[in-house]
């Protein structure tokens, strides 16, 4: 610990997933810690990311539940009506509750909170609300911000930030983008009854995911009524009365209520004063750090979305845990980015961990692939043709399961458990030796015997 010739041992900029965890853990280990937040406690995840998104996904999922309930004997006499303003008001109340929890967590761990924009003045000085504070170390945990490409009329479009606060749902929407945020919002809008057009400039969305998983999801989304336009982009946006007119690169014109861009995120370095330091920034705008999250300015560290390694909340939190234990407990800074499980909260949901078939083939050469595609039991009485899809990728030489993918109900919940097995190095023989839980969809993961290829 420092001899306290600085005001603080650690000054954290940004009270999001990574910043809050690093601040709390460092304080717990005895450091004198301050944190600055300019907008909302809990950062992107709590306010305009994971949490409100999942609440909206829950809301959207009811529509298919209502329609399949008849087969189970339910008679819903009037067609259910949805109130978007009610959903948003309830969501906002829940987020305020979480903001309060974050405030208490920081208070209770002795972290001093400054509400305002923090600017770095030099390698050991931060300014907030007109006052300057010195710190032995500074942590940049300022997250990311949505990126919208430069097209004529871009100011007429919204991003996910605004989508969470729309006053009313439009009748028709275009979501632009091919990443998980675009796919999830397309599912949300479609589930809530909005005519939804998902536009992506590439041939298939969810680049980096297993190819078949991408195909299966595209098929199921189309069946649920989402209009998928691949190899398509917006050239320009214009006002048309109360609506917007989107001119597409194929010449088509779509009159639409809203356009939401989910075309990637950029590290947030706004007003940070990075130019007052030796901190190196890469060509994509992310802060360059070594394995100890140290920037090229030795007293300044960075983690989370601003370093753009794996922009997910649990990763930012794990990075924060690793850094605080390293700085204030003398532990080696260990961050393992292998086999990070993840979900896409689309309808149906994707859960995935490890390598896609394509990545595994490239890495191991010889692999064995096991697949299963079936109509889930709930569909028998509920109606509908939706298929659940599961896939295991095995390194043939070692028999280790190196990839596990699912498209179907509760895929995120199911794959989280399997991720432990995969992280622990489970072999296909271990999967085969595991008894299934019957009747579940998940049991299929331990009963796939015949390789597909
Ligand atoms: P953030 O959580 O973004 O926090 C950064 C904070 O720094 C912000 O509060 C910001 O106001 C503050 N700040 C910035 N500059 C300054 C400054 N100069 N002074 C003071 N404060 C400043 N991840 C998942 O794991 N699962 C999901 O389902 C998921 N869904 C998502 C859905 C959406 C729509 C989005 C946008 C993201 C989603 N993410 C999800 C990603 C996740 O939110 C981020 O990976 C995570 O929040 C990153 O944490 P962070 O600490 O790096 O930054």
Ligand 1 within 6 A of CB of 37: yes
Q: Which of 47, 49, 306 to mutate to test the pocket of ligand 1 (most atoms within 8 A of CB)?
A: 49
Q: What is the pLDDT of residue 25?
A: 98
- Counting from 1 in the atom list of ligand 1, the atom nearest the Cα of 262 is 34
pTM, rounded to two decimals: 0.97
Q: pLDDT tens track of the chain, all 453 residues? A: 545 699 999 999 999 999 999 999 999 999 999 999 999 999 999 999 999 999 999 999 999 999 899 999 999 888 899 999 999 999 999 999 999 999 999 999 999 999 999 999 999 999 999 999 999 999 999 999 999 999 999 999 999 999 999 999 999 999 999 999 999 999 999 999 999 999 999 999 999 999 999 999 999 999 999 999 999 999 999 999 999 999 999 999 999 999 999 999 999 999 999 999 999 999 999 999 999 999 999 999 999 999 999 999 999 999 999 999 999 999 999 899 999 999 999 999 999 999 999 999 999 999 999 999 999 999 999 988 899 999 999 999 999 999 999 999 999 999 999 999 999 999 999 999 999 999 999 999 999 988 898
Ligand 1 centroid from CA 349, angstroms:
22
Q: Which residues pair with 281 in a beta bridge?
A: 287
Q: Which residues pair with 261 in a beta bridge?
A: 159, 176
Token code pair at residue 172? 């028709």
E strand spans, 251-295: 253-256, 258-261, 265-267
Ligand 1 within 6 A of CB of 18: yes
For residue 14, give every residue at least 6 positions away whose Cβ sits within 8 Å of its Cβ, in sequence order, or none: 35, 36, 37, 43, 140, 141, 142, 143, 304, 306
Ligand 1 within 6 A of CB of 10: no
Q: What is the pLDDT of residue 237?
A: 97
* Closest by CA position to 110, among listed 9, 223, 227: 9
Q: Is 160 helix (H, G, I), strand (E, B) or coil?
A: helix
Ligand 1 within 6 A of CB of 139: no
* Closest by CA position to 47, among listed 26, 13, 82, 20: 20
Ligand 1 within 6 A of CB of 16: yes
Q: What is the pLDDT of residue 22?
A: 98
Token code pair at residue 155? 């100011």
Tokens 């300019």 -> residue: 38
For ligand 1, atom 45, name the residue with the nearest CA. 312
- Point out the residues that are catalytic: 438
Q: Are the C-beta atoms of residues 198 and 183 closer than 8 Å to each other?
A: yes
Q: Which of 45, 131, 314, 337 to mutate to test the pocket of ligand 1 (most atoms within 8 A of CB)?
A: 45
Q: What is the pLDDT of residue 4?
A: 64
Half-sphere exposure of 99 (CA within 13 A, CB side): 16
Q: Is 82 helix (H, G, I), strand (E, B) or coil?
A: coil
* Closest by CA position to 260, among listed 152, 176, 367, 382: 176
For residue 7, give every residue at least 6 positions away whose Cβ sits within 8 Å of its Cβ, in sequence order, or none: 32, 34, 133, 134, 135
Q: What is the pLDDT of residue 77?
A: 86
Ligand 1 centroid from CA 222, angstroms:
30
Ligand 1 within 6 A of CB of 316: yes
Ligand 1 centroid from CA 302, angstroms:
13
Q: Which of 43, 56, 144, 177 to mutate to test the pocket of ligand 1 (most atoms within 8 A of CB)?
A: 43
Q: Are the C-beta atoms of residues 53 and 30 closer than 8 Å to each other?
A: no
DSSP, res 287: B
Ligand 1 centroid from CA 256, angstroms:
29
């Amino acid at each position: 610990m420092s001899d306290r010739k600085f005001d603080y041992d650690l000054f954290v900029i940004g009270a999001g997933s990574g910043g809050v965890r690093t601040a709390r853990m460092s304080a717990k280990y005895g450091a004198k810690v301050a944190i600055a937040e300019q907008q909302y406690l809990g950062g992107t995840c709590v306010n305009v990311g994971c949490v409100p998104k999942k609440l909206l996904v829950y809301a959207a999922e009811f529509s298919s539940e209502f329609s399949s309930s008849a087969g189970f004997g339910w008679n819903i006499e009037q067609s259910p009506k949805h109130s978007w303003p009610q959903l948003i008001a309830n969501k906002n109340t829940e987020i305020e509750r979480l903001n309060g929890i974050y405030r208490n967590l920081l208070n209770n761990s002795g972290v001093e909170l400054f509400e305002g924009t923090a600017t770095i003045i030099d390698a050991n000085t931060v300014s907030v609300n007109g006052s300057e504070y010195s710190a032995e170390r500074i942590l940049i945990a300022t997250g990311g911000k949505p990126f919208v490409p430069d097209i004529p009329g871009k100011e007429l479009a919204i991003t996910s930030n605004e989508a969470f606060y729309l006053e009313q749902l439009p009748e028709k929407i275009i979501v632009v983008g091919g990443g998980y945020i675009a796919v999830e919002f397309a599912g949300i809008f479609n589930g809530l009854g909005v005519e939804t057009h998902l536009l992506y400039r590439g041939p298939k969305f969810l680049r980096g995911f297993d190819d078949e998983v991408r195909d299966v999801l595209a098929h199921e989304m189309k069946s649920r009524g989402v209009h998928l336009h691949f190899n398509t982009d917006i050239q320009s946006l214009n006002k048309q009365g109360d609506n917007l007119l989107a001119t597409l690169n194929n010449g088509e014109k779509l009159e639409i209520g809203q356009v939401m861009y989910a075309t990637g995120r950029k590290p947030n370095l706004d007003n940070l004063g990075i130019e007052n330091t030796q901190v190196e920034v890469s060509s994509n705008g992310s802060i360059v750090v070594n394995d100890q999250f140290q920037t090229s300015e030795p007293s300044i560290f960075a983690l989370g979305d601003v370093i753009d390694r794996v922009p997910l909340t649990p990763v930012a939190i794990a990075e924060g845990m690793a850094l605080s234990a390293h700085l204030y407990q003398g532990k080696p800074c260990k961050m393992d980015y292998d086999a990070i499980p993840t979900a896409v909260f689309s309808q149906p949901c994707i859960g995935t961990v490890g390598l896609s078939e394509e990545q595994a083939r490239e890495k191991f050469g010889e692999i064995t692939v096991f697949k299963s595609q079936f109509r889930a039991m709930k569909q028998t009485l509920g109606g509908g043709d939706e298929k659940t899809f599961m896939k295991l990728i095995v390194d043939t030489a070692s028999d280790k399961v190196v990839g596990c993918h699912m498209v179907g109900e509760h895929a995120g919940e199911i794959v989280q458990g399997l991720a432990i097995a995969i992280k622990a190095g489970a072999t296909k023989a271990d999967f085969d030796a595991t008894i299934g839980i019957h009747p579940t969809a998940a049991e299929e993961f331990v009963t796939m015997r015949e390789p597909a290829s």
